[in-house]
Amino acid sequence: MSTLEAFVSGLPKAELHLHIEGSLEPEQMFEFARRNGVSLPYESVADIRAAYEFSDLQDFLDIYYTGMNVLLTEQDFYELTEAYLRRVAGDAVRHVEIFFDPQAHTSRGVEFETVINGVTRALKFVGHELGISSKLIMCFLRHLSEEDAFNALASAEPFLHMIDGVGLDSSELGHPPSKFANVFSRATELGLKKVAHAGEEGPAEYVYEAIDILKVDRIDHGNRSLESEVLVKRLAEEQIALTVCPLSNLKLRVVSRLQDHPMKSMLDAGLLATINSDDPSYFGGYINDNYTRLATALELTEGDLVQCAKNSFTGSFLPSEKVKQFHSEIDSYASRKHT
């Protein structure tokens, strides 16, 4: 293990941008397909991995929605979430705020209740065993209508005690945040936190809409914010967190090389930028792979990585006392020697 890998491996961190369906590993996809009698358009695990070459976000989403067809029972959602938690416990992840896409399941006849019960049971019991706390965010699929999002929110109402926030994901271009103004306003009335993918492929204008119209608490991705100096100033002043996903950006060709990734510029501008994995099984790495590969490509210092780890707690929905505790744990970790 290199010095960098050793430092990252024990650095306490939170993951704030993780689609649980995007943590479905090919081996598990085959297992669920077999036990549920679902046919897959792949012959083998190697065949699946070979299909994971994407030209853009939509190209990925088509494969992502096909992959999740194998998820049918509460046990599937439990095991999916359990596998993710066990994987990242080894990456010193101490807190997760995970997304799920209820409409991608209810549209296939899987009940909202089946999905949320499986995911939350694992978050509670496996999270407790591993010492990982969690929040759960349900995302609206932006390629569908606002009316469809309202229906999803109505299905969620009996389970609001299990849900911390709403998000907005799927095909960004042509589906601006303003399309969901009313349903986000309803989410505010219900006391939910709000986040939205913006500025991944879409323009800086979408980031403005997410902040000013949806009134989000943080921005998922946000890369293209850097195209507007005024927006960067605002994000810095208001310390609005960005949940940045380096390997996702590389695989979806938001950047052509990791050396061109904007994370260093974000940190230099004083943005509350965090490092996350997005859909790790599709993008070739979990959170620590994102930290180490980005640090190598951009020559980030241990100080930069400490800043990112601290930002992950500052930008989380944890209470401020917890955030302070994690910050001091990070400080004491960083002051020790790592080999």
CA separation, residue 4 to residues 26, 249, 308 (Å): 29, 22, 14
State the nearest-atom distance from the C-beta of 254 to ligand ADE, in Å: 9
State the nearest-atom distance from the C-beta of 1 to ligand ADE, in Å: 29
Strands (E), 101-187: 133-141, 165-169
Among 12, 22, 285, 315, contact with ligand ADE (rule: CB under 6 A): 22
Q: Are 226 and 196 in contact (CB under 8 A)?
A: no
Query: Could you say whether residue 248 binds ligand ADE (CB under 6 A)?
Result: yes
- State the alpha helices, DSSP H only, in 42-94: 45-51, 57-67, 74-89
Q: How many residues does the chain have?
A: 339
Chain position whose Cβ is nearest to ligand ADE: 169
Please state, in angstroms and rounded to a whole number, the distance separating the CA atoms of residues 257 and 135: 32
Which residues from 42-61 bind ligand ADE, rule CB under 6 A? 57
When the beta carbons of 171 and 292 are compared against ligand ADE, the nearer one is 171
Among 82, 97, 200, 289, contact with ligand ADE (rule: CB under 6 A): 200
Query: Could you say whether residue 199 binds ligand ADE (CB under 6 A)?
Result: no
Using CB under 6 A as the criterion, what x/- string covers residues 150-169 for binding ligand ADE? -------------------x
Count of chain residues binding ligand ADE (CB under 6 A)? 11
State the nearest-atom distance from the C-beta of 324 to Zn ion, in Å: 28
Tell me if residue 189 is catalytic. no
- Cα-atom radius of gyration of the chain, to the nearest Å? 19
Please state, in angstroms and rounded to a whole number, the distance separating the CA atoms of residues 43 and 192: 42
Using CB under 6 A as the criterion, what x/- string covers residues 252-291 for binding ligand ADE? --------------------------xx------------
Please state, in angstroms and rounded to a whole number, the distance separating the CA atoms of residues 12 and 90: 11
When the beta carbons of 19 and 94 are compared against ligand ADE, the nearer one is 19
Beta strand 193-198 pairing with 218-221: parallel
Nearest to residue 11, comparing CAs of 315, 317, 319, 301? Answer: 301
Q: What three-state secondary structure class fits 14?
A: strand
State the nearest-atom distance from the C-beta of 128 to Zn ion, in Å: 26
When the beta carbons of 171 and 311 are compared against ligand ADE, the nearer one is 171
Alpha-carbon 31 to chain mean position: 24
Q: Give contact residues for Zn ion (rule: CB under 5 A).
A: 278
Please pick, among 15, 25, 97, 200, the residue that the annotation labels catalytic: 200
Active site residues: 200
Give me the residues that bind ligand ADE (CB under 6 A), please. Answer: 19, 22, 57, 64, 169-170, 197, 200, 248, 278-279
